[in-house]
């Protein structure tokens, strides 16, 4: 690798030295398009083909003759993944590729804070630069359609507006370091079950209103330089080479000037890959998907098979040049740009991880003010549950990391409380997944415990009877059929019979806190028996520190749910009226999945059917209290401003999220009862008040007219609803458009 880079640098220096002036394509003072136009004709056919497909597991070739370095990609929406072997998934065994593991994107979305999303992107970009990575394969913005989706923890929730607002600053922050974002998985990749063979059937209105807005925002507002096609099919075409999605919508309608990257093994046909919008092909083995010859990258669909068609005159050279032009444009923005050196595992990055976690952890329930922990009252604390001692940075699929360190929840609590004289005891409670390995990265933990479930529960109950406070830390993990790539959850219940443990603890001690660590909602039939519930997410390197600070009250929780937490799985539209996970075609390995719920996803469906969730979209409590008053709306001709005064009426400093939803009072088409169209997070000292303003523009009043293929805002009466959750909107302001 070092020899290859040295050769590239030598070639570049010789080229510059032998020229009277710097070649146009290397002159960064010139416009990118001028540089691309200069470089394109310098490439041979083989060089053009080489840069549009992989040369190793995570890289594509540069052009050493012209001083163009190898292009390196990396999995890492939550951190920069460890290096792997050239042609294998197993790690390369490097000792300098440990990273900061940032909280999962569900936690980032739960902050409802675009400013911290930018910090997340910048910190990740700095780590990527230090590691020599040119593209991070992320972030993900697929919609949370069902809580069974194994990959929901990598995405940003159920609402297209929230996801749009959070993805844009992440992309801008990452790309400010000269590291390309690669938005994934475009699109409709909303379940992992049969992900390679699922053909999604969805109406155009739902497609444009629910499933595409976050991708569109990443492209048009965030300026994303790359986007990754999904594994599944739409209109019976795989989404890594899909005419409607890639050519018609992405490139023509949205004006995307970047690169479409295949998911690893997502290409299936040379002709479609050539003509239906794919620009760079990545994957494994011979055809990128199934096993075959190693180091078979020249056999990829966009490699020798493409060359053969070109030589036979069956496909146009202009089509190849358009792909190459896009890749060269990407290089001008990354490998051929002057970029910062970056930094790795810095104090600033760990602080970002802690801050994201602190703002994203959601206090779901807090009866009797049981939280925060009071060291004066809670002298003996019992922690129960495997997730208190299990590392979560390893596993779950391509977002698995090799973290420099990971502070476990139990350790974080002990470090914070034992200095105050508090005793923190532990009981296992249940055994879930004692393993800890992914692609050669191991946690080094031994969590094996052969005791019977009855013995584990009895031990926990006996200790609970003598504790001042019991904290159960369970939920999901990153094992197969949990929060993990490649498979969906098998049901909505907590795994490993955790419900039985929680119910036994609730009978033994009335002061019970449940901390659910997961990227998904879970069934909580025991919810009314438990006075305090916290949603802890996968919090990365600083998990234990961050959870302890919230539980003790050093940080005041301000996270809000980025999805609806259903009471029962049947309350979710995908399971109530949809046909998740689809129906297998007779004599064909394709699953047709109908999104029969259309635009009614999440809280939109709950409003329509008048079902109450366990916890609503946007819900999240605080250790202080807030009041809203003096709501008003001003403006005309579709441009309005809604204002409200927010007051911290409690005894602690804290942050509240003002949420604005729009209702179309009378429409010619069926519309949701309300839709999120604005939000602002405000931090207030005790007794402090602040006026919060949120602008309303005509696009916020629009729906997608499938018959006209455009967005339409109909004149009439609207209501702006303001509050702190989708089920808590006390202020209603009428206005006319």
Residues identified as active-site: 263
Determine which helix (DSSP H) or strand (DSSP E) holds 510, and give its type and residue range. none
For the chain, state the CA radius of gyration.
26
CB 105 within 8 A of CB 156: yes
Strands 233-234 and 362-366: unpaired
Question: CA distances (Å), 514 to each of 342, 385, 395, 448, in order?
Answer: 39, 10, 24, 23
In this structure, what DSSP letter does residue 681 have? E
CB-count burial class (<10 Å; 0-12, 13-18, 19+) for 20: exposed
CB 331 within 8 A of CB 43: no
CA dist 42 and 655 (Å) reads 56
CB 359 within 8 A of CB 114: no
CA dist 520 and 153 (Å) reads 7
CB 640 within 8 A of CB 696: yes
CA dist 553 and 550 (Å) reads 5
Local structure of 509: helix, strand or coil = coil
Who contacts 481 (Cβ-Cβ below 8 Å, separation ≥6)? Answer: 150, 487, 488, 489, 490
Name the nearest CA neighbour of 198 among 569, 581, 491, 527: 581
3-class SS shares of the chain: helix, strand, coil, % to 5 = 30, 20, 45
Phi/psi class of residue 147: alpha, beta or left (left: φ > 0; alpha: ψ in -120 to 50)? alpha
Write out 231-280 in H/E/C secondary structure. Answer: CCEECCEECCCCHHHHHHHHHHHCCCCCEEECCCCCCCCHHHHHHCCCCE
Strands of 129-186 (E only): list them.
Answer: 135-137, 180-186
CB 97 within 8 A of CB 131: yes
């Amino acid at each position: 690798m070092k020899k290859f880079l040295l050769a590239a640098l030598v070639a570049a220096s010789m080229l510059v030295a032998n020229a009277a002036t710097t070649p146009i394509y290397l002159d960064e003072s010139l416009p990118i398009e001028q540089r691309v136009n200069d470089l394109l004709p310098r490439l041979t056919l083989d060089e053009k083909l080489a840069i549009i497909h992989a040369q190793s597991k995570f890289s594509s070739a540069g052009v050493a003759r012209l001083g163009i370095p190898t292009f390196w990609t990396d999995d890492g929406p939550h951190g920069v993944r460890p290096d792997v072997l050239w042609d294998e998934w197993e790690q390369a065994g490097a000792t300098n590729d440990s990273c900061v593991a940032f909280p999962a994107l569900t936690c980032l979305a739960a902050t409802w804070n675009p400013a911290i999303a930018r910090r997340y992107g910048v910190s990740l970009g700095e780590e990527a630069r230090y590691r020599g990575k040119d593209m991070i394969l992320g972030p993900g913005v697929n919609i949370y359609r069902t809580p069974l989706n194994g990959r929901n923890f990598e995405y940003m929730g159920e609402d297209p507006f929230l996801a749009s607002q959070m993805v844009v600053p992440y992309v801008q922050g990452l790309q400010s370091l000269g590291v390309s974002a690669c938005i994934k998985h475009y699109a409709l990749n909303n379940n992992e079950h049969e992900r390679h063979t699922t053909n999604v059937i969805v109406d155009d209105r739902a497609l444009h209103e629910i499933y595409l807005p976050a991708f569109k925002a990443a492209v048009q507002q965030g300026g994303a330089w790359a986007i990754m096609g999904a594994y599944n099919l739409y209109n019976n075409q795989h989404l890594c080479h899909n005419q409607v999605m890639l050519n018609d919508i992405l490139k023509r309608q949205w004006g995307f000037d970047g690169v479409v990257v295949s998911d690893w093994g997502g290409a299936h046909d040379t002709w479609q890959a050539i003509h239906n919008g794919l620009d760079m092909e990545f994957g494994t083995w011979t055809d990128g998907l199934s096993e075959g010859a190693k180091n078979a990258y020249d056999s990829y669909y966009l490699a020798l098979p493409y060359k053969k068609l070109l030589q036979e005159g069956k496909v146009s050279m202009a089509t190849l040049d358009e792909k190459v032009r896009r890749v060269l444009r990407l290089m001008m923005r990354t490998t051929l740009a002057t970029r910062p050196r970056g930094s790795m595992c810095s104090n600033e990055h760990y602080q970002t991880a802690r801050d994201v976690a602190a703002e994203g952890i959601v206090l779901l329930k807090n009866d009797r003010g049981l939280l925060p922990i009071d060291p004066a009252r809670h002298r003996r604390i019992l922690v129960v549950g495997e997730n208190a001692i299990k590392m979560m940075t390893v596993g779950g699929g391509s977002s698995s990391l090799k973290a420099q360190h990971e502070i476990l929840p139990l350790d974080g609590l002990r470090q914070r409380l034992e200095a105050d004289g508090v005793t923190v005891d532990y009981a296992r409670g249940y055994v879930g997944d004692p393993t800890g390995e992914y692609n050669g990265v191991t946690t080094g933990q031994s969590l094996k415990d052969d005791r019977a479930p009855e013995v584990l529960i009895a031990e926990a109950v006996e200790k609970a009877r003598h504790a001042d406070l019991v904290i159960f830390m369970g939920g999901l993990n990153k094992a197969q059929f949990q929060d993990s790539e490649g498979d969906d959850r098998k049901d909505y219940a907590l795994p490993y019979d955790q419900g039985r443990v929680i119910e036994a603890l609730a009978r033994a001690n009335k002061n019970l806190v449940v901390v659910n660590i997961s990227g998904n909602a879970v069934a909580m039939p025991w919810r009314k028996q438990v006075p305090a519930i916290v949603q802890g997410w996968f919090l990365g390197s600083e998990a234990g520190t961050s959870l302890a600070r919230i539980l003790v009250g050093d940080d005041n929780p301000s996270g809000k749910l980025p999805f609806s937490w259903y009471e029962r799985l049947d309350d979710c539209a995908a399971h109530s009226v949809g046909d998740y996970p689809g129906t297998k075609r007779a004599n064909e390995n394709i699953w047709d999945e109908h999104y029969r719920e259309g635009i009614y996803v999440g809280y939109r469906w709950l409003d329509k059917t008048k079902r109450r969730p366990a916890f609503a979209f946007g819900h999240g409590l605080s250790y202080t209290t807030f009041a809203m008053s003096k709501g008003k709306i001003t403006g005309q001709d579709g441009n309005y401003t809604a204002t409200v005064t927010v007051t911290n009426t409690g005894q602690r400093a804290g942050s509240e999220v003002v949420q604005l939803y729009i209702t179309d009072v009378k429409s010619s088409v069926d519309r949701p009862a309300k839709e999120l169209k604005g939000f602002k997070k405000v931090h207030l000292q005790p007794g402090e008040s602040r006026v919060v303003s949120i602008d309303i523009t005509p696009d916020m009043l629009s729906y997608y007219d499938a018959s006209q293929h455009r967005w339409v805002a109909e004149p009439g009466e609207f209501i702006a609803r303001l509050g702190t959750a989708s089920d808590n909107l006390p202020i209603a302001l009428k206005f006319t458009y």
